């Protein structure tokens, strides 16, 4: 759950940085009232924390969780 939320926030940050780089337009500050607005700063901080969390994804083992569905171990659930 935390991995997925972090990944979503990182994608939001990447799209925002892309819009800054391509169009000189900061979507987050536009939506939430400028870079100095408290909500914008909270979102920037959450994106940064999500990026730090996603660094851990690079160093994790590739564990596949198999849900027990009672179908005698078929590989269709991977």
Average pLDDT of span 50-74: 75
pLDDT in tens, 7-49: 999 999 999 999 999 999 999 999 999 999 999 999 999 999 9
Q: How many domains does the chain have?
A: 1
Please give the distance of CA 76 from its chain centroid, rounded to a whole number.
27
The answer to whether residue 20 sits within a structural domain is: yes
What is the pTM assigned to this prediction? Answer: 0.74
Burial degree of 20 (CB within 10 A; 0-12, 13-18, 19+): middle
Q: Which domain holds residue 40?
A: 2-58
The answer to whether residue 37 sits within a structural domain is: yes
The answer to whether residue 64 sits within a structural domain is: no
């Amino acid at each position: 759950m935390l991995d997925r939320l972090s990944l979503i926030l990182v994608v939001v940050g990447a799209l925002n940085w892309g819009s800054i780089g391509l169009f000189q337009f900061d979507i987050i500050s536009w939506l939430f009232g400028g870079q100095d607005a408290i909500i914008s700063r909270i979102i920037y901080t959450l994106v940064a924390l999500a990026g730090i969390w996603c660094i851990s994804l690079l160093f994790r083992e590739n564990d596949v969780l198999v849900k027990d569905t009672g179908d005698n171990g078929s590989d269709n659930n991977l």
